[in-house]
Structure 1
């Protein structure tokens, strides 16, 4: 009777699998399928799929999130089992091709904002587990995502064929026999599912990752993913393995760093949910990354600055002016917007909830990008049920707490001078650029120029041939 029940259960699983995928793997028992689905769910968390494919307060994996890139806005797709709007008609082979090769079911290429260049590291078994999870456990959402419409010529998806030939490494992860099992597990997760290099590795002219400077820091929209190599000055070489594990789990490391922007999303949606052994493994691997130093950086961003205050000189003066009065000084703006949480001397709150403004990676970095973005967009992450929150002061012009680009620059320069990298200057233009979503790539303009140049040369060549032909006839 027990064997009959097992066979009947296997038949039901097979029927469900056929309905979802068009085939059945007879070798998978119900227990094996359930275990694979559970592993697929874990891998989807490790890959942070929800962060990009779920809009705030939206339905899971229904897509529609606007993602700012240097070439324009890309909208994430619906990856639920919807037949009309999602992946409901994908076979496992088509799913794997999209996941690891960046090619949709209809043959069109995905843009590498979807990190298939990292997901190519997934093993066949893990790609299978992900497919079972998305096709058997994720509820379909009948919702169409906005169409991505990048400006010409990047709107021609076929251009990605050449890009992939040049830059896509299609080899799955192969363990290094000279390293420990923990190191290999960490390398597999960091290089693959967690796609650390997608954000932290600088890009070349064609937007490809520069492997020679792996994980040494890169611009990500309005934020900057910092150097996480083992360099003690430019990177995180001064951190212990335990420090890195704490940061990945909580997004906070007292006296050093706080996660915001896309890193806060990664901590909240992914890293905090990983097994302790996997966090240890990732930390082991990251700590082994070869050091990449920045010659312009001579002081660690985690040790810059000190407790100080110039607010005493404001005592007895007129009340703080509103943002509309562009002459408001950085000290005035700091007193009106920051001291209630970070204190007049910048040491933060006693319990550490509001961080210190000195010995802080956002204020101590030579690159002021993250300080700009923090003031503009704030911080909002929740780990272990505890929210870390700072309001953004960019807002809309009608918001009561909105600051102009000029005043954010004034406030930022006061914070830098008092508590961080005093020789770093924040400009109004930097703030405006961050407010637009970050710097754009010159690739688009150069591609258009190249097309115009080629078309012009072709036209001139044809005209010359016609002219020479007429002269021969004459």
Structure 2
């Protein structure tokens, strides 16, 4: 209930902020402006701006949310019309530059945690509507968001100018005349506002989206955004278009997948509110994406595992031993922490509220990070269909219900062996990596080494020139 109250409070704050802004300016606006604000609000919702720019208990769009990246923590900015701390002084041209090219009003580069690489294809009309909404439809919040302080040399924002030259597409969106209007609109939404590839596409050495691997799966902080290409084994090729629509609307597809983490937020704050036509267009395009197969997959993650139970063995003459509390087995951890909701045989509840642990994307994937993250952080997603909730067992070491890294690995491996992909495994080190925000990137170290090597080379050249000059002088 505590988590639910936070969610409701966040929704109420967002709604109240928009209503307050709307009522304060209503008498000064024309019907055309009101319609434009409403359109901008919809584009902002489709773009899921609130998920990153509003903290759990913060005011709408005031920023300050900590976004863990492989290069360090990035804080989202205040995008309310505050003239001191937000975008209140931005002209529409400056706003467009920030949205589509990652350039702030002061000329500094934004980090691509803000998905301007996707927003670059937004039409002039959609950018104009967004600008109007954020200027006239959002309440200004005079609060400074924390400054982002990445380690050297990533704190040099000017380096992103080179990155943008290499990886930012500044071309306008082009429709494909060989495809239907619905397909083209779906592609515009997927590649633009919904920015699906930002999470679901693997990243290269320079943290760019890998060309040719669109939507084949990528690590996003603590969570893994799986393959959603049309491959029947590695992707979602086995889903019907209607099933994908249901998943985007509710965050749940019984017997296959449940949305958590960033995807849970996307469903909660964005997809569930989109029009039926838009969600269907998204599904139409995603279902058409070329299949990309992972050679490690011999069966679909949605069909892995089966019903199983070791409860009878645990209830034998020895039972679950209280004197073994310091060194529990995976079976004991499962029965003590998971079975009460997911059932002793892992089949979940009859109404599907508690999902089955077999035929489940989180347990059937070759990448076990989502299983780890689910155990650590739980699930808390609210849609028009109600709340989906699971408590996290990460906690603090002093919490009574907290599990250690080793215990989470034991419980996770028990679930994988008995209900999911038995050839996958979890180590305590894997849990540590997810607990601290996901895999880190060697780019910082390598960049520092490159700079150091460059400095040494310059010094050697200077030393050579000085020595040669002295020799000539003699």
TM-score class, shorter-chain normalisation, is over 0.9
Q: Distance in 1 between matches of 2:414 and 2:298?
A: 21
* 1:245 and 2:278 correspond: no
Displacement of 1:271: 0.2
Look up the match of 2:465.
465
Matches within 5 A, 1:156-195: 156-195=156-195
Q: Distance in 2 between matches of 1:362 and 1:334?
A: 16
Displacement of 1:322: 8.8
Per-residue CA distance 1:23-55 (angstroms, 9 max, x = gap): xxxxxx923222111110000000000000000
8 Å Cα contact 1:77/1:145 also seen in 2 = yes
Displacement of 1:58: 1.3
Matches within 5 A, 1:129-168: 129-168=129-168
Displacement of 1:296: 1.3
Displacement of 1:167: 0.6
Matches within 5 A, 1:366-405: 366-384=366-384, 386-405=386-405
Secondary structure at the aligned position of 2:212 is classed as helix
Look up the match of 1:304.
304
Look up the match of 2:16.
none
Secondary structure at the aligned position of 2:151 is classed as coil
Q: Distance in 1 between matches of 2:463 and 2:324?
A: 60
- The two structures, once aligned, show a CA RMSD in angstroms of 1.6
* Structure 2 unaligned spans of 5+: 1-21
8 Å Cα contact 1:320/1:336 also seen in 2 = no
Q: Distance in 2 between matches of 1:322 and 1:155?
A: 52
8 Å Cα contact 1:320/1:332 also seen in 2 = no
Matches within 5 A, 1:235-384: 235-315=235-315, 316-317=317-318, 319=320, 321=322, 325=326, 327-384=327-384
Matches within 5 A, 1:420-439: 420-439=420-439
8 Å Cα contact 2:250/2:385 also seen in 1 = no
Secondary structure at the aligned position of 1:212 is classed as coil
8 Å Cα contact 1:378/1:391 also seen in 2 = yes
Look up the match of 2:4.
none
Q: Distance in 2 between matches of 1:215 and 1:41?
A: 27
Per-residue CA distance 1:385-405 (angstroms, 9 max, x = gap): 510000111111111111000
Q: Distance in 1 between matches of 2:325 and 2:208?
A: 43
Secondary structure at the aligned position of 2:192 is classed as helix
Q: Distance in 2 between matches of 1:319 and 1:465?
A: 77
Look up the match of 1:222.
222
Displacement of 1:174: 1.8
Q: TM-score, normalised by structure 1?
A: 0.93
Q: Distance in 2 between matches of 1:388 and 1:173?
A: 37
Cα 1:61–1:334 shift into 2, 3 Å: same
Q: Distance in 2 between matches of 1:272 and 1:400?
A: 36
Q: Distance in 1 between matches of 2:212 and 2:425?
A: 29
Displacement of 1:458: 1.1
Q: Distance in 2 between matches of 1:296 and 1:41?
A: 42
Cα 1:359–1:144 shift into 2, 3 Å: same
Displacement of 1:318: 5.1
Q: Distance in 1 between matches of 2:257 and 2:271?
A: 16
Secondary structure at the aligned position of 2:370 is classed as helix
Look up the match of 1:5.
none
Displacement of 1:101: 0.7
Runs (4+) of structure 1 moved beyond 4 Å?
318-324
Displacement of 1:211: 2.1
Per-residue CA distance 1:210-251 (angstroms, 9 max, x = gap): 121000000000110000000000100000000100000000
Cα 1:108–1:418 shift into 2, 3 Å: same
Secondary structure at the aligned position of 1:39 is classed as helix
8 Å Cα contact 1:92/1:128 also seen in 2 = yes
Secondary structure at the aligned position of 2:219 is classed as strand
Look up the match of 1:101.
101
Q: Distance in 2 between matches of 1:322 and 1:151?
A: 47
Cα 1:102–1:308 shift into 2, 3 Å: same
Q: Distance in 2 between matches of 1:462 and 1:132?
A: 55
Matches within 5 A, 1:50-61: 50-61=50-61
Q: Distance in 2 between matches of 1:404 and 1:70?
A: 24
Secondary structure at the aligned position of 1:331 is classed as helix
Q: Distance in 2 between matches of 1:322 and 1:51?
A: 45
Cα 1:320–1:145 shift into 2, 3 Å: farther
Secondary structure at the aligned position of 1:382 is classed as strand
Q: Distance in 1 between matches of 2:190 and 2:162?
A: 26
Aligned length: 449
Q: Distance in 1 between matches of 2:466 and 2:59?
A: 61
Displacement of 1:258: 0.3
8 Å Cα contact 1:322/1:328 also seen in 2 = no
Q: Distance in 1 between matches of 2:127 and 2:324?
A: 52
Displacement of 1:469: 2.1
8 Å Cα contact 1:380/1:387 also seen in 2 = yes
Look up the match of 1:33.
33
8 Å Cα contact 1:321/1:328 also seen in 2 = no
